[in-house]
Amino acid sequence: MLTKVLKEIAAGELKSKEEICKKLSLSESMLEGIMDQLIQMGYIEQTNGELSCDCSGCTGSCHCSNIKMNMWTISQKGKSILNK
């Protein structure tokens, strides 16, 4: 299951934890545990990200301005596992 979660993160698409849970039939707590393991093993790294609005002259009323989120990236070690 670790490899399946790693592949989902590596797919490069912006996905929520809920989407990954649904696709892999996992509970959110199980996914959290797997992601913690992947971090501890050095396969993924957590970063804080921010999306900014592309709206011209946005007032923020569209709720897309400066959305903060946790994001995960695949480390070199993680990439080497996926390439095997």
> What's residue 23's pLDDT?
93
**Range 32-43 burial, b when 16+ CB lie within 10 A, else e:** eebbeebeeeeb
Tell me if residue 15 falls in helix, strand or coil.
coil
pLDDT in tens, the chain (84 residues): 999 999 998 987 778 889 999 999 999 999 999 999 999 999 999 877 665 555 555 555 555 555 566 788 899 999 999 998
